[in-house]
Structure 1
Amino acid sequence: MVHSQLAGGSSSVWASTWCHRVSTLIGLRWELRGKEHLAKDQACIIVANHQSSLDVLGMFNIWHVMNKCTVVAKRELFYAWPFGLAAWLAGLIFIDRVRGEKARETLNDVNRRIKKQRIKLWVFPEGTRRNTGALHPFKKGAFHMAIDQQIPILPVVFSSYCTFLNDKKKILNSGRIVITTLPPVSTEGLTKDDIDVLMDRVRSQMIETFRVTSAEALQRYKPIKRGGIPAASSASTSSSSTTTTVASPGTAATPVADAAVAAAAAVASNSSAYGQPPGYGAGAAKASLLKTL
């Protein structure tokens, strides 16, 4: 079962094409940076931040760049259709976190194959998706796997969804997301004793990239009041009055980016800042997608 999943094939191409069309339908635009790192023919563990089921759309939007890739996802994602359907058709590896021993057996089997076949393994180390304008603590599984096979970690960062997505209020507007692939982080010579240092290093790099790209996305964001009338610089106002940051121990402060991300989070919590641009309706297909978030 795992072998066939790792093989990829036409189903992955179909899922990628289908997800690209869904992104177009709901008004999402994905911009990939650092393509050269993602396109390199090498085995690696990709670690990406996890904000929403929309991450699956972004992942499949760049699927053609990655060549051979498979994904580890929690079993619950399978039931988040239509994302789960596309994931299943593409051969994602679903693990049951309740059955810990079975999950470990599956991952060990995968890990033995990825280096030999030069496969990229995509993991969301935060575990649970949370659209809060911050990166949350990582679980160690992906880093154990990378060190075990002495293959690099490849960080991938999605900029904040806060300017167009509100999970609690079930609001999804059109939006632009920057996907940044950072240079690979080597694990050669590292042992299990180095996992915490490696994890902190990767997470710090991802947090800084998340700040910068999210701030850029916010600069291009123009809130729409209900009725289609542009809001009067609500994002910039929030930026100047908000002091919340997403800083974490061991990362350098970037006040402008921090304020911008905080402003995006403030926009996400305020339903009045969300409106549909003229001509952009929430049709039946879009309403169905919102139920999976």
Structure 2
Amino acid sequence: MSFLRSFIHALWMLVTVIPWAIIMIVASPFRSGVAMYGMAQTWLGWAIHGLRVICGVRWRVQGMENLPQGETSPAILLVKHQSTMETFLMPLLMPHPLAYVFKKELLSVPFFGWAMGKLDMIHIDRSLRTQAFNKVVEQGKRLLAQGIWVIMFPEGTRIPRGQAGQYKSGGTRLAVATGAPVIPVAVASGRCWPRKSFVKYPGVVEVSIGKPIPSEGRSADELMREVEAWIEGEMRRLDPEAYAHEKNNPVASSAQV
């Protein structure tokens, strides 16, 4: 049954993304950045609410009160990455428009990537590390000044449930360079939408938003260690079943948190 529901949801996303992307591409010369972002949110809403209705995947959010207030209050979201779900869900939850930092290869994905290219986001060439980071800082400063929040996945790629990837300091380096606080976000999506899995399983995805961590006067590495400790600790609270193996291996547990 889960496979059939997942197939229907995949079909739903496919048949909606094609006309949506075409409309966005055609409208882009005539619409503002805010309007284009709103159009993107519309399709993401179709995908996520379709996931709820078709596959029985729901979500529960804690910590919304921790988000900065004010129309231009800056923030850099650093989010745990277990599946595609958090990529789609975050723009629907956040009170500010989001700008993702992502590899430029995604722009080549038919329809979805073409539409993404019409949004004001930060796409980088990972092979050009110094130039890529300079681009992130330059565009990040401009976006943050407009009240657009920057969102990054510090592990760089989707990580299997119950595991931790290597946290990279690009997000905290941007925070130090811009003076913006970082907001750690833990998302236990792997239980319902596992990494690289076609099949989605019914259940509740827990999302926890941490308190802003100031970046002023901090080193990027120190700041990232604090972000990693909070996210990984929170993941064990949200999804203890996924980390049950650590009870028999306390050395591995202490090495990750």
Say yes or no: TM over 0.5: yes
Separation in structure 2 between the aligned mates of residue 83 and residue 75 of structure 1, nearest angstrom: 13
1:89-119 per-position Cα deviation (integer Å, ceiling 9, x unaligned):
6544322212435523431221221342232
Q: Percent same amino acid at aligned positions?
A: 25
| TM score, norm. by length of structure 1 | 0.64
Give the match's secondary structure for 2:51: helix
Matched, 1:12 2:40: yes
Separation in structure 2 between the aligned mates of residue 152 and residue 28 of structure 1, nearest angstrom: 31
Q: Is the 8 A contact 2:33 2:120 kept in 1?
A: yes
Residue identity matched to 2:83: S
Matched, 1:21 2:49: yes
Cα 1:35–1:89 shift into 2, 3 Å:
farther
Per the TM alignment, residue 152 of structure 1 is displaced from its structure 2 partner at its CA by: 0.4
Taking the TM superposition and a 5 Å limit, the aligned residue runs for 1:160-175 are 160-161=189-190, 163-167=191-195, 170-175=198-203
Matched, 1:121 2:150: yes
Per the TM alignment, residue 144 of structure 1 is displaced from its structure 2 partner at its CA by: 0.8
Taking the TM superposition and a 5 Å limit, the aligned residue runs for 1:198-237 are 198-215=223-240, 218=241
Of the three residues 195, 205, 213, the one matched with 2:220 is 195
CA RMSD of aligned residues (A): 3.3
Matched, 1:96 2:125: yes
Residue identity matched to 2:80: N
Q: Is the 8 A contact 1:178 1:213 kept in 2?
A: yes
Separation in structure 2 between the aligned mates of residue 160 and residue 92 of structure 1, nearest angstrom: 24
Q: Is the 8 A contact 1:15 1:89 kept in 2?
A: no
Taking the TM superposition and a 5 Å limit, the aligned residue runs for 1:123-272 are 123-161=152-190, 163-167=191-195, 170-190=198-218, 194-215=219-240, 218=241, 243-244=248-249, 247-249=253-255, 251=257
Unaligned runs of 5+ in 1: 219-234, 252-293
Separation in structure 2 between the aligned mates of residue 250 and residue 173 of structure 1, nearest angstrom: 27
Per the TM alignment, residue 50 of structure 1 is displaced from its structure 2 partner at its CA by: 1.1
Q: Is the 8 A contact 1:33 1:181 kept in 2?
A: yes
The structure with the largest alpha-carbon Rg is 1
Q: Is the 8 A contact 1:159 1:179 kept in 2?
A: yes
Cα 1:247–1:88 shift into 2, 3 Å:
farther
- Residue 51 of structure 1 aligns with which residue? 82
Residue identity matched to 1:188: E
Cα 1:169–1:156 shift into 2, 3 Å:
closer
| TM score, norm. by length of structure 2 | 0.72
Q: Is the 8 A contact 2:184 2:211 kept in 1?
A: yes
Separation in structure 1 between the aligned mates of residue 221 and residue 124 of structure 2, nearest angstrom: 24
Cα 1:149–1:167 shift into 2, 3 Å:
closer
Q: Is the 8 A contact 1:6 1:69 kept in 2?
A: no
Per the TM alignment, residue 204 of structure 1 is displaced from its structure 2 partner at its CA by: 0.3
Q: Is the 8 A contact 2:77 2:149 kept in 1?
A: yes
Taking the TM superposition and a 5 Å limit, the aligned residue runs for 1:76-95 are 76-78=105-107, 84=113, 87-88=116-117, 91-95=120-124
Separation in structure 1 between the aligned mates of residue 216 and residue 90 of structure 2, nearest angstrom: 27
